[in-house]
């Protein structure tokens, strides 16, 4: 049971659930209230959307572990459970069961709100999850982009499905859309950077499966320059967001982003120049995860 819980990455699944809760109750509902709009998505449908998304994410974690047995034996043997504490067949069975239930919930949600969008988005996400685990992660950059799009797409999906349930006028719709776009861009770039750093960390094991990751194909110096470029782009988008927030008198959010996101990002760039060992790149990967959480925390900061 402990091995199954580890493969499910419970903390990560909780972050997904919390992200949906923050978006719904600190972004969508407050805007609805300000414009006297009735929230069309009920609690049951919201729960279906969150549960289906979590099941798809859990499928991704287990399927990745299943197809990474060989590389994990080199990259992180102390964290490898498939083949040691749980059989590969059992792991695949769990992934398939989770996939089945996520598909069922997606269809139920689509029937409930009478829109094809939920099933289309969720089933496509499920397809990409398996596609990544089987093939994409070995490709040059495309696997990284796929994971990043999934991170950003989860945020965008919450709004796309919400819109199908509520009649939102143009002004509040544009307001929420601008927030979602900003958060999605941030999630995309931070996720992309983290995936590339993890590729550097996992180079030894990735060589065994003929992986064409950026560091293996282009080398660490090129990869470092790419990460610096992505960090600079992230800084640019953050600055644009802060200017917009300042115009809406969201001063606390501006300060929050500076302290919890921009300063850690600057620290990331400094440490990236000095990183050489696998442990150092692992710490950079963890730092980027905390920066992502700091960015999501801006939703809470926006309430003040």
Each residue of 138-159: pLDDT tens digit? Answer: 888 999 999 999 999 999 999 9
Mean local confidence (pLDDT), 227-242: 94
Number of domains in the chain: 1
More confident residue, 67 or 180: 180
Whether 41 shows a pLDDT value over 90: the answer reads: no
Whether 5 shows a pLDDT value over 80: the answer reads: no
Each residue of 100-131: pLDDT tens digit? Answer: 999 999 999 999 998 899 999 999 999 999 99
Please give the Cα distance from 292 to 286 (Å, whole number).
10
pLDDT attached to residue 60 = 92
pLDDT attached to residue 2 = 66
Of 40-54, 156-170, 204-218, give the range with the top mean pLDDT.
Answer: 40-54
Please give the Cα distance from 205 to 124 (Å, whole number).
29
Domain containing residue 272: 2-301
Torsional sign, CA 149, 151, 154, 155? negative
Q: What is the pTM of this model?
A: 0.92
Lowest mean pLDDT among 179-188, 199-208, 248-257: 199-208
């Amino acid at each position: 049971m402990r091995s199954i819980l580890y493969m499910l990455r419970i903390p990560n699944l909780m972050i997904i659930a919390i992200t949906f809760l923050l978006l719904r109750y600190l972004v969508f509902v407050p805007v609805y209230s300000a414009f006297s709009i009735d929230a069309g998505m009920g609690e049951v449908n919201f729960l279906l959307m969150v549960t289906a998304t979590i099941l798809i994410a859990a499928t991704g974690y287990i399927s990745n572990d299943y197809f990474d047995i060989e590389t994990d034996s080199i990259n992180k043997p102390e964290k490898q459970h498939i083949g040691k504490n749980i059989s590969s067949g059992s792991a695949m069975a769990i992934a398939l069961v989770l996939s089945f239930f996520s598909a069922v919930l997606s269809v139920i949600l689509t029937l409930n709100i009478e829109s094809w969008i939920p099933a289309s988005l969720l089933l496509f996400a499920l397809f990409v999850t398996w596609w990544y685990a089987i093939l994409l992660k070995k490709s040059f950059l495309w696997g990284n982009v796929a994971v990043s799009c999934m991170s950003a797409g989860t945020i965008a999906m919450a709004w796309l499905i919400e819109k199908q349930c509520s009649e939102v006028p143009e002004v509040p719709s544009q307001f929420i859309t601008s927030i979602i776009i900003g958060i999605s861009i941030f999630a995309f770039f931070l996720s992309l950077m983290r995936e590339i750093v993890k590729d550097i960390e996992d180079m030894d094991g990735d060589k065994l499966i003929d992986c064409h990751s950026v560091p293996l194909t282009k080398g660490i110096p090129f990869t470092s320059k790419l990460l610096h470029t992505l960090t600079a782009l992230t800084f640019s988008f953050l600055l644009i967001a802060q200017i917009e927030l300042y115009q809406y008198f969201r001063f606390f959010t501006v300060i929050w982003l500076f302290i919890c996101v921009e300063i850690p990002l600057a620290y990331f760039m400094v440490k990236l120049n000095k990183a050489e060992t696998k442990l150092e790149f692992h710490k950079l990967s963890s730092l980027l995860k905390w920066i992502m959480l700091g960015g999501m925390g801006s939703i809470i900061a926006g309430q003040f």
